[in-house]
Chain A
Amino acid sequence: MNHAIKDIEDSFNKLPMAIYFAWGDTVARYRRSILGPLWLVLGTVIGTLGLGWLWGSLLKVDYATFFPSLTVGLVVWQLIASSIVEGSTAFIRSAILIRNVKTPYLIFPVQVLLRQLINFGHNLIVVVGVLIIFSSALSWVTLLFIPNLLLVLGNLLWMILLIGLLGARFRDMEQLIAAVMPILFFLSPVIYRPDQLGIKSAFIWLNPFSHMISLLRFPLQGSVPPTFVYVVMVSMLIVGWLISLWFLNRKYGRIAFWV
């Protein structure tokens, strides 16, 4: 694990750079648009209103509980989906950089995650707005959101690393991810809640993203997530990191040739 451990150390030292880069990427993306990053907020508002109205009428549910649940679901889903989709090009995107400057590799997944976190921060405005409008039951339990978010981010980071490495070696990865994500959207409890599925809800829990969404949705709706969600997420964190660091370590010398 020598290479991987050294990489973590070097990446940690370069964290200020990753933050600067992620911020720069976001600024660059919205530089010539009038609304700038507000487009993120607007996009989420439009999405929530549209989907909320459509699914609300289709499922004939109570808007006061459905809207907050859907908003949180959509915002968290966006964090997960864009992390995974952008993760597949985490290293390819920086190919010129990797081939020219000696940089620790973990910095690139960190950059992807930070970019998504910046977007997530913007989207949280919508979540807060919706929670206020529907005067949801906020309590001290809501503070669980912060440690839970860290647990989700920790899991997303190893996923981005692993998918990014595979994506650098196999260029089909990007297409594969793009093809799989839409169906995973419906297999994740974004629009519905797992308990609404009754007996079939067991299948939903096979999807790791279901756990991530629940971990963040429960506290925002004033309740503690089920214990098994924590068990799954913590185990996933440990096993996932071990696998992806093992892979990084094994292929360390090849990455510069792959990109």
Chain B
Amino acid sequence: MAYVNFNHVTVKYPIYNAKSMSLRNQLVRIGTGGRLSKETTDIINITALDDVSFELKKGDAIGLVGHNGAGKTTLLRTIAGIYTPESGNITSQGRVSTIIELGAGMDHELSGYENIFRMGMLLGATRSEMDSKMDEIAEFAELGDFLAVPVRTYSSGMLMRLMFAVGTSIEPEILLIDEMFSTGDANFQEKAHARMEALINAAEIFVFASHSPELIQRHCNRIFTLKHGKIIETNPF
């Protein structure tokens, strides 16, 4: 059974500027006994999540809200296991599917078909599994003959269709989606929402970052508001 547990999790996000990324400045720092450290290495640490604890269990559909830069994407990546916390611990179980950044895992020179295999395998499916899902994905994405041409010719709406179709087809137990429904036409958005509802009804964990109150209302049964790295849970009703 899928679950996610955050126990006093703090994630610090280091920002490396051009100076700290350079080997020369690291060498200078060693050479000067680190005394010049202020000028040579400017690694700014941003506390994106500050002592966060929560528990997600089967059937939870979380709406993540918060202004730009509040840490919504960082939280999604931490749940996915991409970012490791500085302190605290995370336990989770379940097949994770992430739809965070447009075009992740795609090779833009390859065709839509080939990219369906790529993304599916990235998300943990085997080649033969993807083979059997191909028709369903192609039908859902409604890209028709475009699936045979390189992905670099796709519009962002088409990329989103493809990513969403693959990301949801592998039957994830934990589905993490960042706000990306601004692309895609009305017709596809309606289809996507119907599929999300089906997934949520299949009692999986679903975390959805969005700026749209209607979408959150429609899909989510818990609301997390992120503010200065802290999470405040509010009642959706």
Write the residues of chain A forming the contact surface with B, with a CB cutoff of 8 angstroms: 14, 16-17, 20-21, 24-25, 27-29, 31, 96-103, 169-173, 176, 252-254, 256-258
Verify B26–A100 contact, CB threshold 8 A: no
Count, A-B residue pairs, CB within 8 A = 87
11 contacts across the A-B interface (CB closer than 8 A)? A24-B118, A25-B107, A29-B109, A31-B109, A98-B82, A99-B77, A102-B80, A102-B82, A170-B23, A176-B23, A253-B85
Smallest Cβ-Cβ distance to B124: which chain A residue: A14
Smallest Cβ-Cβ distance to A28: which chain B residue: B109
Query: Which chain A positions have C-beta within 8 A of B81?
Result: 102
Verify A171–B22 contact, CB threshold 8 A: yes
Binds A, one of B2-10, B96-104, B153-161: B96-104
Decide: A101 near B98, CB < 8 A? Known: A28-B110, A96-B104, A257-B14: yes
Decide: A24 near B107, CB < 8 A? Known: A99-B82, A100-B100, A257-B13: yes
Interface residues on B, range: 35 or more
Partner of B83, one of A170, A172, A257: A257
Please provide the chain B residues from 43 to 81 with a CB less than 8 Å away from any CB of chain A in the complex.
Answer: 77, 80-81
Verify A28–B98 contact, CB threshold 8 A: no
Smallest Cβ-Cβ distance to B109: which chain A residue: A28
Query: Which chain B positions have C-beta within 8 A of A100?
Result: 77, 82, 98, 100-101, 104-105
Q: Once the chains are docked, how many angstroms separate the CA of A169 from the CA of B23?
A: 9
Query: Which chain A positions have C-beta within 8 A of B23?
Result: 170, 172-173, 176
A242 to chain B, nearest CB (A): 23
Q: DSSP majority for the A interface? A: helix
B22 to chain A, nearest CB (A): 5
Q: Once the chains are docked, how many angstroms separate the CA of A240 from the CA of B103?
A: 35
Smallest Cβ-Cβ distance to A107: which chain B residue: B122
Write the residues of chain B forming the contact surface with A, with a CB cutoff of 8 angstroms: 13-14, 16, 18, 21-24, 26, 77, 80-85, 96, 98, 100-101, 103-105, 107, 109-110, 114, 117-118, 121-123, 126-127, 150
Verify A24–B110 contact, CB threshold 8 A: yes
Q: Once the chains are docked, how many angstroms separate the CA of A31 from the CA of B100?
A: 29
Q: Once the chains are docked, how many angstroms separate the CA of A14 from the CA of B121?
A: 8
Q: Once the chains are docked, how many angstroms separate the CA of A28 from the CA of B114?
A: 10
Verify A170–B107 contact, CB threshold 8 A: no
Partner of A256, one of B22, B84, B100, B110: B84
Partner of B123, one of A20, A101, A173, A258: A101
> A169-B21, A170-B26, A172-B24 given. 10 additional CB < 8 A pairs?
A16-B126, A17-B122, A20-B121, A28-B110, A29-B109, A97-B104, A97-B122, A101-B82, A170-B23, A171-B22
Q: Once the chains are docked, how many angstroms separate the CA of A100 from the CA of B105?
A: 8
Query: Which chain A positions have C-beta within 8 A of B110?
Result: 24, 27-28
Query: Which chain B positions have C-beta within 8 A of A99?
Result: 77, 82, 100-101, 104
Q: Once the chains are docked, how many angstroms separate the CA of A253 from the CA of B16?
A: 15
Verify B14–A256 contact, CB threshold 8 A: no
Q: Once the chains are docked, how many angstroms separate the CA of A258 from the CA of B14?
A: 8
Q: Once the chains are docked, how many angstroms separate the CA of A254 from the CA of B123?
A: 22
Smallest Cβ-Cβ distance to A30: which chain B residue: B109
Query: Which chain A positions have C-beta within 8 A of B126?
Result: 16
Verify A101–B22 contact, CB threshold 8 A: no
Partner of B118, one of A20, A98, A173, A256: A20
Query: Which chain A positions have C-beta within 8 A of B100?
Result: 99-100
Smallest Cβ-Cβ distance to A3: which chain B residue: B84
Smallest Cβ-Cβ distance to B107: which chain A residue: A28
Verify A101–B104 contact, CB threshold 8 A: yes
Q: Once the chains are docked, how many angstroms separate the CA of A169 from the CA of B84?
A: 17
Verify B127–A101 contact, CB threshold 8 A: no
Q: Once the chains are docked, how many angstroms separate the CA of A16 from the CA of B21?
A: 34
Q: Once the chains are docked, how many angstroms separate the CA of A169 from the CA of B22?
A: 8
> Closest 3 interchain pairs by CB?
A253-B84, A100-B104, A28-B109
Query: Which chain B positions have C-beta within 8 A of A20?
Result: 117-118, 121, 127
Verify A252–B84 contact, CB threshold 8 A: yes
Smallest Cβ-Cβ distance to B21: which chain A residue: A171
Smallest Cβ-Cβ distance to B125: which chain A residue: A17
Q: Once the chains are docked, how many angstroms separate the CA of A235 from the CA of B12?
A: 39
Query: Which chain B positions have C-beta within 8 A of A254?
Result: 14, 84
Query: Which chain B positions have C-beta within 8 A of A14?
Result: 121
A107 to chain B, nearest CB (A): 10
Verify B14–A170 contact, CB threshold 8 A: no
Verify B104–A16 contact, CB threshold 8 A: no
Verify A96–B77 contact, CB threshold 8 A: no
Q: Once the chains are docked, how many angstroms separate the CA of A29 from the CA of B24?
A: 34
Smallest Cβ-Cβ distance to B12: which chain A residue: A257
